[in-house]
Structures are given as C-alpha cells and as structure tokens.
C-alpha cells in the first residue's frame, strides 16, 4: 500500500491507512464511510496479511462492480489502440 499513487489520490504526502481507506470507500460507495466501515477497512489495511483480501472483496462487491462498470465492459469491451 506504500505506493506514490496514494499521495496523488489522497492529496497527502505519505497518507495513512485511514486516508487510503477513506479514499477507497468514498470512491466506491460515492459517500464518506461511517465510522464502523472506516475502522474495519483501516484494520484490514493495517494487517498486511488481510490487505489483499479486503481489497479483493471491495472490488468484487456489488458497489465495486457497478463503480468500475463491469457489465458495460462486458458488453462493449475495451478499445485497443
């Protein structure tokens, strides 16, 4: 999770797991997370062995799938240049 892209996405230099979790949850659900959801996300990101599992579950959630438009991609595909 310590990639420079998080600095850009969160607008913070060396953002905390709280800032990263807040960014991801807000982006996927289109609203700021409640305290319980944010705390659970931070706990998952704080525990390196659960980071991938949590990120995969967020991406595979209905909200995650709708957010990235998997159905639309399935129907139209990606443009190859």
pLDDT for 24 equals: 92
63 contacts 37 by C-beta, under 8 angstroms:
no
pLDDT for 64 equals: 74
Cβ atoms within 10 Å of 20's Cβ, excluding its own: 20
Per residue in 50-70, pLDDT (tens digit) is 888 998 888 888 877 776 665
Burial of 9 (0-12, 13-18, 19+ CB in 10 A): middle
Mean local confidence (pLDDT), 33-52: 92
Residues listed for the chain: 81
Q: Where are the domains of the chain?
A: 5-76
SS3 2: coil
Per residue in 18-30, pLDDT (tens digit) is 999 999 999 888 8
Q: What is the mean pLDDT of the chain?
A: 84
């Amino acid at each position: 999770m310590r990639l420079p892209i998080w600095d850009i996405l969160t607008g913070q230099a060396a953002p905390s797991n709280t800032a990263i979790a807040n960014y991801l949850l807000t982006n996927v659900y289109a609203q700021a997370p409640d305290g319980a959801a944010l705390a659970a996300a931070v706990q998952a990101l704080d525990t390196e062995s659960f980071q991938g599992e949590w990120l995969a579950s967020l991406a595979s959630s209905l909200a995650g799938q709708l957010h990235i438009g998997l159905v639309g991609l399935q129907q139209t595909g990606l443009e190859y240049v």
